Amino acid sequence: MLLLRISAFLFVFIFGQGISALAQDGEVLSELDKTIEKSNYYDGLKEKRINDLKLRLNKAGTPEERYQNYFLLAQEYYVYKSDSAKHFTRLSLATALRLNDVHKINDSSILLASAEAKAGIFPEVLRILFSMDKSQLTNEQLINYYKTYSEYLIYELEYLQDEAISDIISKRIEIRDSLIAILPHSSLEYAINMGTKNIELRNYSQAESILLARLPDVRQNTREYSILTAIIAYLYEQKKDTEKQKYYLALSAISDIRSAVKENLSLRSLATILYSEDDYIRANNYIKQSLDDANFYNSRLRNIQISRVLPIIDKAYDVQKQKQENKLRGLLALLTMLLIILGFAIYLIFRQMKKVAKAKESLDNTNHLLIKINDDLTEANRKEKNMNLRLSEANLVKEQYIHSFLEICTEYIHKLESFKSVVHRKLKSGQTAEILKYTETEKGSSKELKELYKNFDKAFLNVYPYFEEEVNKLLLPDERYSLKGDSLNQELRIYALIRLGIVDNNQIATFLHYTLRTVYNYRSKVKQKAIDPDGFEEKIMKIGLI
């Protein structure tokens, strides 16, 4: 489901510290591995920022200052820890209500709806959004309102999976289009939504132009950078460019980890790809990191998604690990055996050294024997060459035999056709009706032709049993023939005649009862399938030569 999968990438990649652009998959995956190892360090930086805000909250004197700190803490926890994000968002909303500040109430309500969407509390999301008066929202708040609404629809689509979701998809498109209509055309949000829309419409070139054009302008190590690289990764997934898809997923995953984003999807998606490529070690590490993040964030939806993938990858990893351990044990056993053999060999060497003197005496005799063997080999080579010449001559005899056989059969068919024609004319003059009926049918000659072709195929394949295999070696892999039994198809039968030296189209057409155009078309068709069209027929003539 194209829309669902595209949408799932749009709003789930959040917050990021960045990295330098890396040119190769191996480099970027190595960088991701190092980043995962330092994930506790980046979590520590996040905790320090949160603690600093809490200290500021404790010193806040006015309701406005407390609201501001509640809201900032909610934003820090937004993609880090779900329960804390909702807790501080509710505190900011309660404070805004006490202040009776509509602007602050709307900001907190939208943020709370987004937090509830990430937690999977969908009825609460709708209750909050439908209770708001959109006419009281500023343009920025209206943008956030539609983003939150769209985000909720995305999460619900992910949760429902393959159930009846056509209404939700339609609503998602409607909300997305409403968002595009109010976004400034120069904004990154506009580029992301327009790029996503073009992916949905399969306008991949347009989507690539829009998204890649904005990438240099987006500051790395930001949430926007993480989202944009994830959308680009999905674009290349749709274009079936797995290498680029992995590259941009890795960039997004690194950004997520370095900014302590626990509500993420790119690392899990990358693990799934690596699993399909049999990179079980990395896939297992990445999926377990994703599970740790989901558990920390306390996302019901992410836990469900990862729980479907984890057992598969984990089992594959265990199987590979067991194979490696078995291989290591086998190598150790082999090494032990080799050491034993080496010790025994050393013992034999010392024994043999004592026999060197005796062996030296027989060395001359051995040399004489080798000279004689060499002379025998020379004679054997000479005989082999003579045998090859005789086999070549035998092949020529076979070819001449088949050629003569074909000429006789062809002449016989022509005589038979001539005879039938004469009989037919006589019958027209008043011969018996049965004979006239017999001469009017083509069934007899057709049967004779089929029998002739069958005998020809059988005789030819007896002489050249590997003809089809040798022809296939001259053709492109996707154009090769696969025949069963001991018969040839029309194209191979034409080239069988050519192998026998019948290269004239007229002769071929006469034998096969084809038109000249048909013979020409078959020959051209097969040449077009050849690896070397110009030298194809020349190579056909060499098949079977010894």
User: Residues 182-194: pLDDT tens digits?
Assistant: 999 999 999 999 9
Contact assessment for residue 256 and residue 266, using Cβ atoms and an 8 Å cutoff: yes
User: Residues 488-497: pLDDT tens digits?
Assistant: 888 889 989 9
Tokens of 140: 């920025």
Residue 13's pLDDT is 37
Q: Distance between CA atoms of 152 and 182, rounded to whole angstroms?
A: 19
DSSP for 507-536, please give it.
HHHHHHT--HHHHHHHHHHHHHHBSSTTTH
Q: Distance between CA atoms of 76 and 120, rounded to whole angstroms?
A: 19
> pLDDT tier at 2 (50, 70, 90 boundaries)?
very low
80-84, 442-446, 449-453: the lowest-pLDDT one: 442-446
Residue with tokens 């069988």: 496
Residue 222's pLDDT is 78
Contact assessment for residue 144 and residue 110, using Cβ atoms and an 8 Å cutoff: yes
Mean pLDDT in residue range 11-23: 40
Give me the CATH topology for the region 2-264. Answer: 1.25.40
CA angle 126, 8, 186 (to 5 degrees): 90
pLDDT at 1 over 80: no
Residue 501's pLDDT is 86
Q: Distance between CA atoms of 247 and 544, rounded to whole angstroms?
A: 51
User: Residues 456-482: pLDDT tens digits?
Assistant: 888 888 888 888 889 989 999 998 988
Residue 15's pLDDT is 33
pLDDT at 198 over 90: yes
List the domain boundaries for the chain: 2-264, 394-540
Mean pLDDT in residue range 91-99: 96
Average pLDDT of the chain, as a whole number:
82
Contact assessment for residue 74 and residue 99, using Cβ atoms and an 8 Å cutoff: no
φ/ψ bin of 245: left (φ > 0), alpha (ψ from -120 to 50), beta (otherwise): alpha
Amino acid letter for position 500: L
Residue 179's pLDDT is 93
Residue 245's pLDDT is 94
User: Residues 316-354: pLDDT tens digits?
Assistant: 556 656 666 667 777 887 888 888 888 888 888 877 887
- pTM of the model as a whole: 0.56
CA angle 273, 210, 200 (to 5 degrees): 55
Q: Is 475 helix (H, G, I), strand (E, B) or coil?
A: strand
pLDDT at 75 over 90: yes
User: Residues 391-443: pLDDT tens digits?
Assistant: 664 566 466 556 656 666 776 677 777 767 777 777 777 777 666 665 565 55
Of all residues in the chain, what percent carry a pLDDT higher than 70?
Answer: 80
Residue 394's pLDDT is 56
Contact assessment for residue 514 and residue 505, using Cβ atoms and an 8 Å cutoff: no
pLDDT higher for 220 or 238?
Answer: 238
Contact assessment for residue 459 and residue 484, using Cβ atoms and an 8 Å cutoff: no
Mean pLDDT in residue range 366-371: 75
Mean pLDDT in residue range 114-124: 89
Residue 41's pLDDT is 95
> pLDDT tier at 521 (50, 70, 90 boundaries)?
very high
> pLDDT tier at 248 (50, 70, 90 boundaries)?
very high
Tokens of 513: 């009862």
Residue 330's pLDDT is 72
User: Residues 131-182: pLDDT tens digits?
Assistant: 999 999 999 999 999 999 998 888 888 777 655 578 888 898 999 999 999 9
**Residue 372 CB neighbours (<10 A):** 10
3-state secondary structure 61-121: CCHHHHHHHHHHHHHHHCCCCHHHHHHHHHHHHHHHHHHCCHHHHHHHHHHHHHHHHHHCC
Closest CA to 71 of 59, 46, 53, 58: 53
Tokens of 430: 């008043």
